[in-house]
Amino acid sequence: MSTQNTFPKLHNAMWPGLVGKEPGTDHPPISLERMLDLTARAEVDGHKFEGVDLFLFHPHTDPDASDDSIKHMADLIASKGLAVGSLVAPVWPGTVGDSSMGSPEQREKFVLAVKKACRIAGILNNHGVRKYGVIRIDSADSPAHWAADPVGNTHKIAETFREAGAVAAAHGERLAAEGEICWAGMHSWKYIVQLLEEVGMPGTVGFQADLAHTYLYLLGYNAPEHGLLKPGHSHAEFTAAYTQMTDALRPWTLDFHVAQNDGSVHGTGSHDKTGRHCLADDPNGKLDIAECSGYWLKGAAERGLKHICWDGCMFSNELLEKQETWNTILAAMVKVRAAQGYSL
């Protein structure tokens, strides 16, 4: 284990302040500035977060904001000593986008969301606050809808992803589809591999791995036909299953989220049930975070992966507002880099 590794850079996600949050409730959205402050103040043995990943929708970011507004946001982030990495495109119905397997009009909206994300990425790149990262997407529809025509719907998603991938490539960007049990055609480790193979744009359209969500892949939560583990599994069984899954998905992996999961699912607000994010030190956590990260980060430098990001959605606001929460998370991130990092 080395504490001298300089990569991957350690980022914090800003969307835990938004996902599952609802105005006028006891869990309202947390502003971007407050999330930035909590991130910038975190420190563990001299280590600090080096950047943030952003959610490109209200109330954090207006996807149609003027160039000057985006530059102002970039100045704010840079003033905290932070960089920008990956950007979440607003691909879902009710934001900019719509279903990637829907009508031509819906799929056009999906591609438009990627275009808007690429515009913002270009402004951040030119500003200098962003030098790496991907644009994160998903299929923006449910496994239940997909199941009405699995082959046909996967074909539609692949066509939409190819069109979005061409847009991204024209802007010098890459797309990473985040595998979660709640997204159509991406709800199992085998289905997402099949989808990416049908898209056929390796290096441009790839996978975003999240430790919590991919653990639910192993359990086959929304696709029992592809489950590799049952609750109460042994460590040896876990290792064999995790190796099988990561060997299939790692070559596609362009972005990586550090997370913890207790083997359960969770959803709040408008967010469907997906792999429950737990605190890094949750005693019920099923994952050795540093060890599991190594499966995904093998060969990361060769795949152009320069940062990792903590993702912990749908925690209570009380928990998110505690500085101790972010120090604990940062400590887990530091351990990942010490055990699995590299230098460029």
Q: Which residue has the tokens 């996967």?
A: 154
Architecture of the domain defined by 9-340: Alpha-Beta Barrel (3.20)
What pLDDT digit, counting tens, does each position of 109-153 carry? Answer: 999 999 999 999 999 999 999 999 999 999 999 999 999 999 999
Parse the chain into domains and list their residue ranges: 9-340
Q: What percent of the chain has pLDDT over 70?
A: 96
- Structure confidence at residue 1 (pLDDT): 46
* 44 DSSP assignment: B
CB 20 within 8 A of CB 313: yes
pTM over 0.85, yes/no: yes
β-sheet bridge partners, residue 307: 9
Mean pLDDT along residues 37-61: 98
Provide the pLDDT confidence category of residue 275 given band limits of 50, 70 and 90: low
Q: How far is CA 252 from CA 120, 207, 209, 296, 313, in A?
A: 25, 5, 9, 10, 24
Q: Is the pLDDT of residue 319 over 60?
A: yes
- Structure confidence at residue 309 (pLDDT): 98
Q: Is the pLDDT of residue 84 over 60?
A: yes
CB 217 within 8 A of CB 181: yes
Q: Look at phi and psi of residue 24 and say left if phi exceeds 0, alpha if psi is from -120 to 50, else beta.
A: left
- Structure confidence at residue 314 (pLDDT): 83
Burial class from Cβ neighbours inside 10 Å (0-12, 13-18, 19+) for residue 99 reads buried
Provide the pLDDT confidence category of residue 313 given band limits of 50, 70 and 90: confident
β-sheet bridge partners, residue 255: 208
Distance in angstroms (rounded) separating the CA atoms of residues 181 and 52: 25
Does residue 23 have a cis peptide bond before it, meaning omega lies within 30 degrees of 0?
Answer: no
Mean pLDDT along residues 255-269: 80
Angle, alpha carbons 201-211-191 (nearest 5°) = 45
CB 313 within 8 A of CB 278: no
Distance in angstroms (rounded) separating the CA atoms of residues 240 and 245: 9
- Structure confidence at residue 270 (pLDDT): 43
Name the helix (H) or strand (E) containing 325.
helix 323-340
